[in-house]
Chains A and B, each alone.
Chain A
Amino acid sequence: MEEKNNKKDNAQKDSEFQKNIEELKEMAEKIKKYTEEEKTNGNRETPKSA
């Protein structure tokens, strides 16, 4: 029973990890896109705190 629960926990952790990887991949793509945008577009928005 304990072994079965451990397997279930591990499977859930793996699934969460995989989901995180996919989310990070999407974020990485956005950062890449924004970095390119900033390189090609010099229009800077003034930070609200400035």
Chain B
Amino acid sequence: METEKLQKVLKNQHVLFDTNIFIKAYENFNAFSKILYLLKDCDCQIVHFPLVEFEFTRNSFMPKHRIERENFIKKIASLSLPFSSELIDNALKIAQIYAHKNIPNNQISLVDCCIAAYLMQHAGRLYLLTLNHKDFPVILLDDTECFE
């Protein structure tokens, strides 16, 4: 039932993969490919976000490894949605909301704040797939559209 609801919500939408999804993608490709099939059936487009690519590639020091990771991410997420210069300002506002709610600074990274700001910029048409909900406190989200 939950899958049907998810498919309905995601129909023709844009989806952003968090870095942890890309990590799981190579660690357990068979499980990941099921997600790709599901999104294909929903006619979703997977969005490329440069800061996710930064996180996914930053620790690979062999050039062939870094290139493989860059190509992997680009092959999966080929669509770029614009992001404005306001992104950092909005990320800062989001960080301030977290601070106001006593969420420790070290729990949520700058990249996570930028992802939240990017989602805010494209609210209603961009959905995030992540394995770590703690990085995205529900105080910012419409919990009617959160799926476990």
Contacts and interface: CB of A to CB of B under 8 A. Distances in A.
Contacts of B64: 34
Task: Label chain A's interface by main secondary structure.
Answer: helix
Contacts of A20: 75
A30 interface: yes
A23 to B, nearest CB: 7
A31 interface: yes
B48 interface: no
B69 interface: yes
Interface residues of B, number: 20
B20 interface: no
A33 B25 CA distance: 14
Interface residues of A, number: 19
Interface of B: 25-27, 29, 32-33, 36, 40, 60-65, 68-69, 71-72, 75-76
27 contacts: A17-B40, A20-B75, A23-B75, A24-B29, A24-B33, A25-B33, A27-B72, A28-B25, A28-B26, A28-B32, A28-B72, A31-B68, A31-B69, A32-B26, A34-B60, A34-B62, A34-B64, A34-B65, A34-B68, A35-B65, A37-B62, A37-B65, A38-B61, A38-B62, A38-B65, A45-B61, A45-B62
